[in-house]
Amino acid sequence: MSSTSPFSVRVVGAGVFGLATALSLAEAGLKVRVVADVEPGRTASGVAAGMLAPAFETLLDPPGGDALDLLLTARDLWPELAARLGLTLDRSGTAATGGADWTDRLEAGFRARGLRIGRVGRSEMEAWLPGLNPRYAGGLLTPEDWRIEPRVALAAMAARLAELGGILERRRLAPEDLRGETGPVVLATGADPALGAAAPELQGLAPIKGQILWRGDLPPPARVIRTEGAYVLGSEGGVLAGATMEPGRRDLTADAGAQAGLRAAVGALLPDAPPEGWSARAGVRAASADGLPLAGSASQPGVFLAVGARRNGWLLAPLVAKIVTAAVTGEDAGPWAVRLDPARFG
């Protein structure tokens, strides 16, 4: 298909994968309709920290196989996308602090992978994070990891899509609604078992519930701060702390029991912060067997997938959008398309 053919594409899902892909398709000259049952800010992408963190994700929670080059490639697509949307990327870098053994292992891991990392003193860490545990003597700083404000970015994507003639329709899409669809359909819904008939590949995705905490009565950190078992950062005028990883759970209920490890890690980082006063937000992500997305053509003709990023949806969104757009339009999807091919699990 020509990338300028004026046919309609339906994108199901208004998280970062859905909106980034819809925007990419619209910029390629296609007529796009996004269908979602919740507004963008209430998706799992809206209940997120907006991490663009190839380095720390590789060190602390790596997807299957050696994916560092892929994650770095995805990160490097963000400046152009942010510029088109008028968004500001936080490229001040990410710091890490904690026990000496933990930070030593982190530093060794960074250097073994050729990633930039440097030591910082106690005074610098305390300036970035007031109230830092006095037992932490210093920390590390890397320029490799960036961040974007999720809800601001989702709103900018939706606004730009509307400028290009795209439509965002809020309603629940039933499987039968896809029968008889004449144009391409992109499923960007996460782990939605109801749509398994439209794309059997979705049945291989597992849900992972994530909870983050927020409060507005503490000074926001000057940059993202990582510690063992948690991160804290400034968001919406307050402090955001995350995040839990609860495999197999689909509910959106705040669960103090599941938050126990996160709260303990934040308490160790900020011992003088009152334990009460945090509000919880929950979202449900989808994960493939290897922790990388399914991006490209599904086994059903006319169906395309943009799902399954586990915890790297924001980081991988521009790359997934590029691959899916190429699959829809019949263009070259680039060297990473094979790695994210939905057919890779057989």
Amino acid type, 251: D
Q: Are both 185 and 174 inside the same structural domain?
A: yes
CA separation for the pair 197, 335 (Å, rounded): 29
Nearest to 54 by CA among 309, 247, 264: 309
Neighbour-count burial of 224, counting CB atoms closer than 10 A to its CB (0-12 exposed, 13-18 middle, 19+ buried): buried
Q: At what angle do helices 313-329 and 16-27 cross, to 10 degrees?
A: 40
> Which burial class, exposed, middle or buried, applies to 272 when counting CB atoms under 10 A from its CB (0-12, 13-18, 19+)?
exposed
CATH number, domain of 278, equals 3.30.9.10
Residues 184 and 106 in one domain: no
Helices (H) then strands (E): counts for the chain = 9, 17
- The region, left, alpha or beta by phi > 0 then psi within -120 to 50, assigned to residue 98 is left
Q: How far apart are the first and last CA of the chain?
A: 26
State both tokens at 273: 């912060």
Q: How many angstroms separate the CA atoms of 324 and 239, rounded?
A: 35
- How big is the CA angle at 194 (ends 296 and 285), to the nearest 5 degrees? 65
How many CB atoms within 10 Å of residue 131? 15
AA letter at 85: L
Closest among 210, 75, 237 to 148, alpha carbons compared: 75
Going from the C-alpha of 208 to that of each of 136, 190, 301, 341, the distances in angstroms are 32, 10, 28, 21
Residues whose CB falls within 8 Å of the CB of residue 117, separated by 6 or more in sequence, listed in order = 106, 107, 110, 111, 140, 141, 142, 144
pLDDT at 7: 60
The domain tally of the chain equals 2
3-state SS of 57-107 is HHHHCCCCCCCHHHHHHHHCCHHHHHHHHCCCCECCCEEECCCHHHHHHHH
Going by their DSSP bridges, the two strands 224-227 and 230-235 should be labelled as antiparallel
Q: Is there a single domain that holds both residue 281 and residue 211? A: yes
Answer yes or no: is 254 within a domain. Answer: yes
pLDDT value of position 22 = 98
Contacts of residue 86, Cβ cutoff 8 Å, sequence gap at least 6: 156
41 and 75 inside one domain = yes
**Amino acid, res. 164:** L
Q: Provide the pLDDT for residue 195.
A: 78
Say which CATH number the domain at 154 has: 3.50.50.60
Q: Are residues 36 and 118 in the same domain?
A: no
Q: Does 170 share its domain with 216?
A: no
Asked if residue 45 is part of any domain, the answer here is yes
Q: Residue 13's domain spans which residues? A: 8-83+149-204+288-345
To the nearest whole number, what is the mean pLDDT of the chain?
A: 93
226 and 248: one domain? yes
pTM of the model: 0.95
| Sequential pLDDT tens for the chain (346 residues) | 334 445 689 999 999 999 999 999 999 999 999 999 989 988 999 999 999 999 999 999 888 778 999 999 999 999 999 999 999 999 999 999 999 999 999 999 999 999 999 999 999 999 999 999 999 999 999 999 999 999 999 999 999 999 999 999 998 877 777 776 778 999 999 777 777 778 899 999 999 999 999 999 999 999 999 999 999 999 999 999 999 999 999 999 999 999 999 999 999 999 999 999 999 999 999 999 999 999 999 999 999 999 999 999 999 999 999 999 999 999 999 999 999 999 999 8
